[in-house]
Homo-oligomer: A and B are copies of this chain.
Amino acid sequence: MRFSYQREVIKNIVCSTKSHPNADWVFNEAKKKIKNISLGTVYRNLKILESNGTIKSFHDSSQVRYDGNVEDHHHLKCIECGILIDTDIKSDYDREKIIKNYEFEPNDIEFFIIGKCKKHKTQTTKKNKEL
């Protein structure tokens, strides 16, 4: 793998945000450092960075999002604003039951908690204060 300044910039962008950006956001950030970087370069390098374990990715509705936090972790997702928040929650399921009842070999889980973030949750107290 040859060195590439573009890849270095892209890596730093993804690894220095907790916002779980999509390719287009990364592209726009990268343009601030490299005026003529191309979107294809961003996509290609995001894939390379993922395949060598530098970053992770997951699908979020119709887009792919990238994550500089490569620790095993799950997310909270706000239905109002779409924000994705890292958590340290563990999800439990009956692994033995899966193997036995479904003859399925589980490797990994994909787990999101959907709801409302602090900015958007329906707080009666908050509402009263605003009146």
Contact = CB atoms under 8 A, between A and B. Distances in A.
Nearest to A59: B61
Nearest to A111: B111
Contact of A91 (B85, B91, B102): B91
Given A93-B90, A94-B89, A107 B114 contact: yes
Interface in A45-95: 59, 61-62, 76, 78-79, 85, 87, 89-94
Nearest to A97: B89
B98 A106 contact: no
A79 B110 CA distance: 12
A25 interface: no
Task: Give the contact-size bracket for chain A.
Answer: 35 or more
A90 B93 CA distance: 7
Q: How many copies does the complex hold?
A: 2
Contacts of A108: 113-115
A101 B76 CA distance: 12
A76 B102 contact: yes
B122 A113 contact: no
A53 B81 CA distance: 24
Contact of A103 (B90, B107, B121, B122): B121
13 contacts: A59-B61, A78-B104, A85-B102, A87-B101, A91-B91, A91-B92, A92-B92, A104-B117, A104-B118, A109-B114, A110-B111, A110-B112, A110-B114
